[in-house]
Structure 1
Amino acid sequence: MLKIYCNDGVHISASWIYPGHPSSPASAEYSSDTFPVFAATLNDSSTSGVIIANPLNLTPGSHESFSTIRRWIRQCERHSCCKDSHNWQHPTRLIDVGGKDSKNVRLYTTNPESPVKYAALSYCWGGDQKSKTVSLRLDERCKGFPLAELPKTIQDAIVTARRLKIPFLWADAICIVQDDPADKVRELAIMDQIYSGALITIAAARATTANDGFLQQRNLRECYGTVCRVRYRERAEGEKLSAFLAEKPLHMTYEDPIDSRGWIFQERFRAFRTLRFGITQTIWECPYGSKVDGGDHYAEIPSFSTPEYSESKFTGTPTDQHYPYALGDPNHVLKLEEALGTWQYMVQEYSERTLTESTDRLPAFAALAKAFGTYLRRGPEEYLAGLWAFDICMQLRWRRPSYVPKSPWCNKRYGPTWSWASLRGAVSYSHPRLLMGTDTLEVDLNECQIGWKAPDFKYGEVLFGKLKVKGFLRQLRWTNGIVIGWHHGEQRDVLLPLEAQWDCHEERDPEVWCLEINTMTTEHYMGSVGILLAKTVDNVYKRVGYFEFDHKEFEPEPIQEGLRRLGLPRNSNWFYNGGFQDIYIE
């Protein structure tokens, strides 16, 4: 006999009970937890008092499913925190979804004086869209065109809007003129408001491409893995009950195809309300909370969404519009550091997502950058290619994380090398913000030069950027992995306690310069952090990596011997002997 335990209402543990030998009637019980099993039962089942998770909904497009969604919306409308009082700027165009059974739709040009209710679509393109709006199609589409002309994901979004009685839909491929650079820049500049101002955002989370759709029936094995229905009794003589046992977890996850895409990141966190159609669940999210149409309500959320680093402070909620703390007020330094810590976590999470075009690295993050600037009451002129000028020394300290493969990471930089946005792939910030030490680098912000592709959209693509800095600079040479130190222009074979992390594997150069950004000194530690540079021309450098330098501990005996040979005092800061120099970094 199998004895099943369900102590938390979701997870199953089991043990086999073997009847005893006639000469020894006691039963033997053997527990096993070598495999996870997840339980679910129907709401109206007698088992629902014990097992709280419901079966997953395999028909997200059914009448019953949309009845549930409409109930969620009605409940949300009664939440005091979900009443959005802001006058968001509308997109230039929307899709007029038409009547319930209409076979045609049309593009509608909005009027700022007459705001309308609309849904916004968040989805994966999955390559170029043949049905996208271009200049030659614009007039025709404003008159009307067949619904069947659109890819399945956008068709499903229109069906969803119709069934929820939302008259308009925004989908970027259709509502933005894709071959008109001015139109694209104008709409990108208000992307934060497009999603925040939508009545709901429809997230086609399960669709890998625009042709996949999201209202079709869910795959049983994809949802559950192996699943079976078991009958059991709570007591030996009790009522016969039943439950579903599944191989796969039944809780909320953010591991759908949409969650790996770069553009989707800002769309999710700028949305005020989201209706998410995932591989296993349909999820409703609003400022008040969340609902699911099956499974367990427990959520696995992104790592930065913690009480200490809550993105909700400057995402789609009404509270993100006014930062309540003065930047210069020492009583609120901790609050500012928490906000900036959140920024760093969001950069890290975003950098791990994929983009079809490398030049979209900044544009696809622009809505969040703009919201963060609004939150801190900072203008776009203080946003330097992904870094905030008022926190520049800390923000220059990004690095490649240790788990990034050592194979070639980039064949080309996009924009200034000192920006994390110049690279493909993941970046990270290695130090907690409250353990920052003392900045030794000075950045002359008045002499900084930024070349935006669209000068009116300073959160967007940057073609070039030059920083003028003044700091401690020392030259190094790498020979067979050994760091060779220089002193007063003379090469000395000195092993230095320096750990380097290269931005691009192919950019490693035998001759580099170390620019100190920050130093920290405690009773037991004295270290420096900074960036590795390669000289391009004269006094101009490019960034090639990040370093950490331990002035006390690494290989004590060789290092101390090297210091003696260089004539430096014990435990001195090696960088100070290079002098304070003015340089440019491109």
Structure 2
Amino acid sequence: MTVQQINGSASNGCNWCSYMRTFTSREEETRDPDDVLSISLSDFYPYYSSPTGKNMYYLNMDLESPKRETRGGWALRIHAFTNSTDQAAPFVTAREVQTEVYSDASRHQIRNWLAECADHSQCPGQVGTILPTRVIEVAPAISPDRPRLLATAGKKGRYAALSYCWGSNSYGELRRSHLNKYLEHLDLEVLPQTLRDAIAVTKSISVPYLWVDALCILQDSDEDKSFEISMMEQVYRGSLVTIVAANSEGVTQGFLQPRKMPMESFNIPFRLSGSQFGTMSVQELDEREYEESEEPINRRAWTLQESMLAHRYLIYSSHTLQWRCNAGVRNHGNSLHLVHYSDDEQTSRSFYALNKPASDSKGELGRWMRLVSVYSKRSSSLSRDKLNAISAVAQGFSPLLGPEYFAGLWQFSILWQLTWVLEVKRCAEAGVV
């Protein structure tokens, strides 16, 4: 099509031509009406994406100016979605991003995810396990609106766990002075918003108990903290689901607020066959990619092992609600999930294989060293937590590499583990070139 034809069609209401016009008008020089724009569109299927379908396309545009004997062009990726009732829905399987993460629809979605996961061969069963030392009973039978701390004494049951960023505030945490009060009831009005949100989510999906470190570990007892930290692997592995407040930088922020609306999209026809058409909405894919590593929770040291130990996750991300289990990742409402295959994701996914017998100890050691490299980039508010915050993962590696373990290093091939160098950016001294 010529630039003149594109402009005319855009003025007559063609959404696709209006989009093309944003490119032909980007250059500072005035386009000749006879300049020709050639377009090719091809679908592609990244491995690390869901759902599968005709949801992503390569768009190549070649602009040729015969009079000036010049050529230019653009190449980008676009994302398509449609609603479930459209005729294109069987082919364009992605749906619009859901920004409401706490609603009747989201609660229904979570229950469906749990039911589907129960049929996954690679996911463990959802029967009750021995509860952690203390849990929050989110809706006691005698007073459903007054959650309380419960000393479990070996009781079995289903529970959720919370993974979150505490931040700089420490009010509401469990201390010996108010243990008895918390065993009677928790005053929701004085708890930080993230903890209140976690209780609300757990209650809404009919899970009776919730484990939160700040409320279930005596924060002023070194003995209690030491014991509970040693049990961290069992706590997260035993949870029915781990609730992840991924987008929240501190415990006072909460994580159930509606997310920001995504960038604008536009509708274009989707040819089915002959004269039959459906409709799909289109966005530039680069604007829709989700950088998991940029979430606040993925900058905190403690949360790396929390993201690796559980079998099921409800992730309240910065753009929508997500589900992750051993079978993969899904977004609420089946919107497109596409992330960069980062070291963090590779490391966490690989940990599921730790239950199988080791066949190559050096290969497992390489995985451990990559994990430590990722972990070292994260921050901890207390320097003494540096080793504690990865100890549960070390327990998981122990059958493969241990048992001799010294502050992040395994006796197995310890000299190799000591051959490292710190990568630093060299800065010139003041006044020196």
Query: TM-score scaled by structure 1?
Result: 0.58
C-alpha distance in structure 1 between counterparts of 2:280 and 2:153, whole Å: 57
CA contact (8 A) 1:132 1:173 kept: yes
Q: Residue 17 and residue 39 in structure 1: after superposition, are their counterparts in 2 closer, same or farther (change >3 A)? A: farther
C-alpha distance in structure 2 between counterparts of 1:175 and 1:371, whole Å: 23
Q: SS of the residue aligned with 2:393?
A: helix
Q: SS of the residue aligned with 1:71?
A: helix
Shift of 1:91: 2.1
Query: Which has more radius of gyration?
Result: 1
C-alpha distance in structure 2 between counterparts of 1:40 and 1:185, whole Å: 49
Kindly report the root-mean-square deviation, in angstroms, between the aligned alpha carbons of the 2 structures.
Answer: 3.1
Q: Residue 234 and residue 17 in structure 1: after superposition, are their counterparts in 2 closer, same or farther (change >3 A)? A: farther
Q: Is 2:425 the counterpart of 1:405? A: yes
CA contact (8 A) 1:227 1:247 kept: no
CA contact (8 A) 2:361 2:400 kept: no
Shift of 1:296: 1.8
Partner of 1:289: 328
C-alpha distance in structure 1 between counterparts of 2:128 and 2:219, whole Å: 27
Partner of 1:392: 414
Partner of 2:135: 94
CA contact (8 A) 1:270 1:368 kept: yes
C-alpha distance in structure 1 between counterparts of 2:322 and 2:196, whole Å: 20
Partner of 2:41: 5
Q: Is 2:189 the counterpart of 1:148? A: yes
Partner of 2:353: 313
Q: For 1:70, give the aligned amino acid.
A: R
C-alpha distance in structure 2 between counterparts of 1:306 and 1:292, whole Å: 19
Partner of 2:219: 178
Q: For 1:96, give the aligned amino acid.
A: E
Q: SS of the residue aligned with 1:267?
A: helix
Q: SS of the residue aligned with 1:108?
A: strand
Gap regions ≥5 residues in structure 2: 1-5, 7-16, 18-38, 45-54, 429-433
CA contact (8 A) 1:273 1:284 kept: yes
Shift of 1:48: 3.0
Q: Is 2:344 the counterpart of 1:324? A: no
Shift of 1:159: 1.1
CA contact (8 A) 2:387 2:408 kept: yes
Q: Residue 92 and residue 407 in structure 1: after superposition, are their counterparts in 2 closer, same or farther (change >3 A)? A: farther
Q: Which segment drifts farther, 135-144 or 39-48? A: 39-48
Among 264, 274, 277, the alignment partner of 2:313 is 274
Q: Is 2:347 the counterpart of 1:347? A: no
Map 1:77-476 to 2 at 5 A.
77-84=118-125, 90-98=131-139, 102-112=144-154, 114-220=155-261, 224=262, 226-232=263-269, 234=271, 239=277, 241-246=279-284, 248-251=286-289, 253-255=291-293, 256-293=295-332, 294-303=334-343, 310-314=350-354, 320=355, 324-325=357-358, 332=359, 335-376=360-401, 378-379=402-403, 382-401=404-423, 404-406=424-426
Q: For 2:357, give the aligned amino acid.
A: P
C-alpha distance in structure 1 between counterparts of 2:228 and 2:192, whole Å: 22
CA contact (8 A) 2:387 2:407 kept: yes
C-alpha distance in structure 2 between counterparts of 1:47 and 1:14, whole Å: 23
Bigger RCO of structures 1 and 2 (CA < 8 A, at least 6 apart): 2
C-alpha distance in structure 2 between counterparts of 1:67 and 1:190, whole Å: 32
Shift of 1:265: 0.1
Q: For 2:281, give the aligned amino acid.
A: A
Shift of 1:282: 1.9
Q: For 1:405, give the aligned amino acid.
A: K
Q: SS of the residue aligned with 1:324?
A: coil
Partner of 1:511: none
CA contact (8 A) 1:272 1:286 kept: yes
* Larger strand fraction of residues: 1
* Larger helix fraction of residues: 2
Shift of 1:313: 2.0
Q: SS of the residue aligned with 2:122?
A: helix
Shift of 1:246: 4.5
Q: For 1:229, give the aligned amino acid.
A: F
Question: Percent of aligned positions with the same letter in both sequences?
Answer: 28
Q: Is 2:60 the counterpart of 1:60? A: no
Q: Residue 11 and residue 354 in structure 1: after superposition, are their counterparts in 2 closer, same or farther (change >3 A)? A: farther
C-alpha distance in structure 2 between counterparts of 1:237 and 1:218, whole Å: 39
C-alpha distance in structure 1 between counterparts of 2:135 and 2:396, whole Å: 23
Q: Is 2:79 the counterpart of 1:42? A: no
C-alpha distance in structure 2 between counterparts of 1:182 and 1:278, whole Å: 34
Shift of 1:405: 2.7
C-alpha distance in structure 2 between counterparts of 1:86 and 1:72, whole Å: 16
Gap regions ≥5 residues in structure 1: 21-29, 315-319, 326-331, 409-586
C-alpha distance in structure 1 between counterparts of 2:258 and 2:320, whole Å: 11
